[in-house]
């Protein structure tokens, strides 16, 4: 699975992926140079492959290893929620910086931890294993980003920061352990549900989040995990990964995916007091079409399910911004 496209579960997202320890590897893909080997089940790769020192190459490799797409998407979502909730410019910038550093740490942790498995599979576009940057440098970047994330998160408020850091910790746990288990969905649910909660708790007075925003975020996180994994179930199985989607199989995952997508939109539409308004009804119609068409087209276009999930998430974000994330 292309880790640069992986959604992080930390709000996330996703994002982020891990794997059980793989056996020793003597060399990476053609032209990438040697990759440090270790005993079966050993920890992360420490040595960088040949070519990592090329001028400017390690900078680009480090940028790609953080999973820039998902990291920026989740960060933009946090920024939109913060501004839409009335946090104001400076405090919204603080929330955005906390989420960004958390996402960077999760992405770099993923690439560094998966370096040996990716080299064995000969996967291209994986900087920590294809010779662009050493895994040790990626581990160092992940550690620094995590260290910066802690004070930034707590500066948003002790409770808000604790909620966000718990989501980041869940994403790291996904990378290092849970991805290959039946609980692979749990960090996604926790991370996506924590994002609106952390934003609400960052508001003056720390008001609690509205229950339907947390419920909708959690359902979207579950859907994101299914949609993100679906195109690569066969490849992941061959690598020994047995997360929930891999256990359900291609057909089971396709059949399950529309349910959390529709559930998230339904919660946002009917959760607030009063009857469903026109915006809620329109979002339900759009969500239904996108949720069903994505899996249906998946056999012809491998990213169709993920695109459908993104379309539903966009509609849900509009509803979320209209409803607000904090309790009155």
pLDDT tens figures, 41-61: 444 444 444 443 454 578 888
As a 3-state breakdown, the chain gives helix, strand, coil percent values, each rounded to 5, of 65, 0, 35
Answer left, alpha or beta for residue 206, where phi above 0 means left and psi between -120 and 50 means alpha: left
CA distances 215 to 49, 111, 121, 192, 305, Å, are 44, 30, 38, 9, 21
Condensed to tens digits (0 to 9), the pLDDT of residues 309-328 reads 777 877 888 887 776 666 55
Note the pLDDT tens digit of each residue in 199-233: 999 998 878 888 999 999 999 999 889 988 887 88
Given a contact cutoff of 8 angstroms between Cβ atoms, the answer to whether 174 and 17 are in contact is yes
Contact 198, 164 (CB under 8 A): yes
Write down the pLDDT at residue 198.
95
């Amino acid at each position: 699975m292309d880790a640069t496209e992986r959604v992080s579960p930390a709000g996330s997202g996703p994002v982020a992926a891990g794997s059980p320890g793989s056996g020793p590897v003597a060399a990476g893909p053609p032209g990438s140079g040697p990759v440090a080997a270790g005993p079966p089940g050993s920890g992360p790769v420490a040595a960088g492959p040949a070519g990592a020192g090329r001028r400017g190459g390690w900078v680009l490799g480090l940028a790609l290893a953080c999973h820039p797409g998902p990291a920026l998407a989740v960060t933009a979502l946090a920024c939109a929620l913060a501004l839409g909730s009335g946090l104001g410019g400076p405090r919204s910038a603080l929330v955005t910086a906390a989420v960004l550093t958390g996402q960077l740490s999760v992405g770099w942790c993923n690439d560094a931890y998966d370096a040996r498995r990716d080299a064995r599979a000969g996967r291209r576009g994986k900087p920590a294993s294809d010779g662009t940057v050493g895994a040790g440098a990626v581990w160092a970047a992940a550690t620094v980003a995590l260290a910066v994330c802690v004070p930034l998160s707590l500066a948003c408020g002790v409770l808000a920061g604790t909620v966000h850091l718990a989501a980041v910790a869940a994403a790291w746990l996904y990378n290092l352990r849970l991805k290959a288990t039946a609980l692979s969905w749990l960090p996604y649910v926790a991370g996506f549900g924590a994002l609106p909660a952390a934003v609400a708790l960052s508001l003056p007075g720390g008001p609690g989040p509205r229950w339907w925003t947390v419920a909708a975020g959690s359902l979207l996180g579950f859907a994101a995990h299914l949609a993100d994994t679906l195109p690569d179930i066969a490849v992941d199985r061959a690598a020994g990964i047995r997360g929930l989607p891999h256990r359900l199989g291609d057909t089971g995952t396709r059949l399950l995916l529309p349910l959390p997508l529709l559930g998230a939109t339904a919660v946002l539409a009917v959760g607030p007091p009063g009857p469903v308004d026109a915006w809620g009804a329109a979002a339900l119609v759009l969500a239904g079409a996108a949720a069903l068409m994505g899996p249906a087209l998946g056999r012809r276009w491998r990213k169709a399910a993920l695109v459908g999930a993104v379309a539903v998430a966009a509609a849900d974000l509009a509803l979320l911004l209209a409803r607000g994330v904090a309790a009155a």
